[in-house]
Structure 1
Amino acid sequence: MSAAYGADSTAMEVVDGLDLRDRTATVTGASSGIGVETARALASAGATVTLAVRDISAGERAAESIRASTGNRDVRVAELDLADLVSVRAFAAGWSGPLGLLVNNAGIMHVPELRTERGWEMHMAVNHLGHFALATALLPALIEAGDARIVSVSSSGHASSGIRFDDMFFDRDPYDAELAYGQSKTANVLFALEVTKRWALHGITAAAVMPGGIWTNLQRHWDPAVLADMKRRYPTKSAAQGAATSVYVATRAPLTPGAPVYFEDCHPAAIVTQIVDGLHGVVPHALDPVAAARLWDVSVELIAED
C-alpha cells in the first residue's frame, strides 16, 4: 500500500478514494501549517473534524477555509491549550461520542526557557504531557470508536536527546532548547509505542511521524541566518506534503503490536545510529520499550489531579 506514496505525496493524494464519513477526528494545532492540511485532507474524505486550537479566531478562519475547499460542513473548532491541564480536561469533558482519529500535531520548537504554572519546561509540557493528558482523558471516546488511531507528530530532532528522567524539566542543569525539544520529540515516539502496547486490546493503535523539512511558524524562534542555511541545504516540503505522513498513518498504515511505530515519507523509517542528512531515520533510544513504559508511568504521576 505505501509504495504508492512517498516524499512528494500530498495529504490529499493519500486520502484519494477513501470514504471517512463514519470517522470522527481531532487535530491539535490545526489552525495553520501541517495541522490545517491534515484536517483538510481528512475532511475532504468525509470525516467529521474538530480543530483543537488555542486561538479560536484563527481556528475559525482555518475551519471556514476547509469547509469552502472540501464542501464538508462538519468541521468544528474547540479551544485547547496543551500547556494548561484545566483546558485539556475541559476539552475532553466537552467531547461527545466516539473519536476514531486523534492527531497530536501541535507543538513548539526551540523556544526560550518557559515554564507552566506547575513548573514544567514548556517543550515537554506542550509536546508530550499535554497530548498525553488529552489522549488519556479521551480514552472512553477512543474505545467507543472500536478501531481508533492516534498519530503522534515527532521529528528527526528526537535524535538529540533521550528522556532526561533525572532532570526532565531542567531544574538542575542549564536550560538547553535543543535538548528540551529533542527529548519531547523522543517522548512522542515512546508514547506511540506504549499506546499500542497498552491499548491495542481496545482496538486503539498509534504511530509517530516525521513530517519532513517543512518551514512554518514552528521555526519562528530560530536564528534567521540558521533558518536560511537550512532551507538551502535540505529538501523542502510544502505543508500539504508534510501532512501526508500524518494522514497516511491515520488512514492507511498497518498499525499492530510489533509493527513499525515511526514513519517518514509515508513509509516506516529505518533504525539508524545517526540521523541521515538531518532528516531520515529513527534512533534506538526512541524505540526503547523500557523507557516507553517508564515515561508512561512518570506522565501518569505528573498529570494527576492536585
Structure 2
Amino acid sequence: MRVVVADDNPVVRAGLTALLSGRPDIVVVAEAADGREACEAARELRPDVVLLDVRMPGVDGISALPYLVRIAPVVMLTYSRESEIVRESLRRGAGGYLVHGEFTADQLITAVRDTNHGGAHFTRTAAGALLAQVRQDADRGAGREGAGREGAGLPEGLGGAEASDGNLAQGSISSREQPASPADEVGWPQELSAISPHLLSRLQSNVGQSSSAGWPGGRAAVPDRSRFPLSAREAEIMDLIASGMNNQQIAATCFISEKTVKNHINRIFAKLHSTSRSEAAAKWLGTAWDQG
C-alpha cells in the first residue's frame, strides 16, 4: 500500500514515515510539507492513501482536500480539533479524521489499512463533531426552535484565503493547537470509531445539506452542473477556484502556466455567465440565488 504523508512539521513527518514503513505491507512513497506538495506528489505517484494535516503554510490541507480526494482516499491527521474544521473536511471529501493524542500507533495502522479498503475512522473529537451535526440536523428537521448552527465557518486563514499581493498565502495560522493534556483525556478511551462507507456517504451528504440553512427552500447537497458545458480540465480548475485557490496555486497544482489558467478562467466565466470568481463559485457550488 502506497501512502503520501503531508505535514509541515518535519519531526511529525519523520515519525509517521518510520511508523508506517515499519509495516511490511505499507510504503511511504512521498512526504509533503504543504498542500501544494501533497497535490504534486499525489498526481505523480498515485498513492492508495494520503495522510493530510490541516494547518500548513501556503496551501493548507482544507484547500488541497478537494483535489486530493479525486486521486486517493484522504485521512486528516492533525492537532486541529475544532468542530467546524471536522465538518468542512468531511464536506470536502475526507474519508477519516484522526486527532493526534487520541489514537495509538496500532490504531493508526488499522485506520490506514481500512481506508485503503473503503473504510473510515474518526477519533473521539471528530466523531463527537459528526454526532453533534447529526443531532442538529435531526432537530432542524423536526422543526425545533433554538437548534442554531454551531460555528459560522472555518477559523480565519483556513480553506483557501487568497493573498492580497497575488502570491501564495503564507500561512495566516502558523501555530498548531496543542493536544489535550493527560488530565483532559481522563475518562476518554483512546480508540477509533469506525463507520461503514455507506454511513460515511450519508454523513457527508448531511453535512453538505446543513449549509442550506437560510436559503429559500434549501439546496441540494450536490448541485446540478449538467447545464454548465465545462470540459474536464475546466471543471477541475473550477473546483480549485471554488476551494479558494488563486491563479498561482492553481497553476502549480495543475502543472500549467498562469497564463493558461487565465485562459481557462475566461472560458469558464463565459460558460457560467459570470463576471467574477465569487459569482462563478456560487453557481458551481449551487449557492447562487438565481439557479435557473
Normalised to the residue count of structure 1, the TM-score between the two structures is 0.38
Larger Rg: 2
Higher RCO structure (Cα 8 Å, ≥6 apart): 1
Normalised to the residue count of structure 2, the TM-score between the two structures is 0.40
